[in-house]
């Protein structure tokens, strides 16, 4: 296992199954191995709205328990800034997995009735973004945030989907600016996009 340095804050971006969560787990394992006093907390933003998602969440939980047995999981689909503030200590590494689902929960909640003609467009910026950026900056210990890069394909059809892709792109840019390190994952391989001390 290669040793990675742990930044004060790191944003890990990539496509689906690119290795984003595995990198976050590796960082958590290394953090826990450094000291008996170290703790790791995963803030999970997924919500089990259907059977496939329930099975996916259960599979992720079981796999994570094997790969990082010392990491505790907290489920928080909406109040992300508050969850980071509540769980961050100098001895605790906080992993957020993932920003994309968090933004989905805010802008496109699965329990809302959907009607293209009557539903207003998604807000340009969620009100919760500024508190999130503050929570990252003020975290007492390291914070690792996982998110999807979905803006590399064709422009999607549908007003709401385009609004979401735009909002996620802006969120990724703002979180990247707030983080000490930004890593892009592709095929399980990391590419460092930003590294500041």
pLDDT one-digit tens code per residue, 8-61: 999 999 999 999 999 999 999 999 999 999 999 999 999 888 899 889 888 888
Least confident span in 68-72, 106-110, 177-181: 106-110
Q: Is residue 138 one of the residues assigned to a domain?
A: yes
Q: What is the Cα–Cα distance from 6 to 141, expressed in whole angstroms?
A: 10
- The beta-strand segments (E) located in 60-166 are 71-75, 92-97, 143-148
Q: Is residue 35 one of the residues assigned to a domain?
A: yes
Domain interval for residue 106? 9-195
**How far, CA to CA in Å, does 6 sit from each of 3, 85, 94, 106?**
9, 19, 12, 29
Q: Within 10 Å of residue 45's Cβ, how many Cβ atoms?
A: 22
- Beta-bridge partners for 186: 189
pLDDT beyond 50 at 115: no
Q: Is residue 89 one of the residues assigned to a domain?
A: yes
Which two structure tokens, joined as six digits, stand for 161? Answer: 């989907």
The better pLDDT of the pair 74, 111 is held by 74
User: Stretch 141-166: mean pLDDT, rounded?
Assistant: 90
Q: Is residue 32 one of the residues assigned to a domain?
A: yes
- Predicted pLDDT of residue 169: 95
User: Stretch 70-95: mean pLDDT, rounded?
Assistant: 97
CATH number where 58 lies: 3.40.50.300
pLDDT beyond 70 at 113: no
Q: What is the Cα–Cα distance from 166 to 55, expressed in whole angstroms?
A: 29
Is 177 in contact with 6 (CB distance < 8 Å)? no
Q: What angle do CA 138, 126, 90 make, to 5 degrees?
A: 15
- Predicted pLDDT of residue 114: 47
Q: What is the Cα–Cα distance from 23 to 53, expressed in whole angstroms?
A: 22
Which residues are known catalytic residues? 60
Confidence of residue 124 (pLDDT cuts 50, 70, 90): low
pLDDT beyond 80 at 112: no
């Amino acid at each position: 296992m290669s040793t990675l340095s742990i930044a004060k804050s790191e944003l890990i971006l990539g496509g689906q199954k690119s290795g984003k969560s595995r990198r976050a787990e590796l960082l958590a394992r290394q953090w826990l191995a450094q000291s008996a006093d170290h703790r790791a907390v995963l803030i999970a933003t997924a919500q089990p709205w259907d059977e496939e998602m329930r099975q996916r969440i259960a599979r992720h939980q079981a796999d994570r328990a094997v790969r990082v047995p010392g990491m505790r999981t907290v489920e928080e689909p909406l109040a992300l800034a508050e969850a980071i503030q509540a769980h961050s200590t100098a001895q605790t590494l906080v992993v957020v997995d993932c920003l994309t689902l968090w933004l989905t929960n805010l802008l496109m909640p699965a329990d809302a009735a959907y009607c293209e003609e009557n539903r207003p467009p998604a807000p340009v910026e969620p009100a919760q973004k500024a508190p999130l950026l503050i929570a990252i900056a003020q975290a007492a210990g390291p914070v690792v945030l996982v998110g999807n890069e979905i803006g590399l394909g064709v422009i999607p059809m549908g007003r709401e989907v385009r609004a979401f892709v735009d909002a996620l792109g802006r969120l990724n840019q703002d979180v990247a600016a707030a983080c000490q390190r930004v890593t892009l994952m592709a095929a399980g391989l990391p590419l460092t996009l930003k590294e500041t001390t």
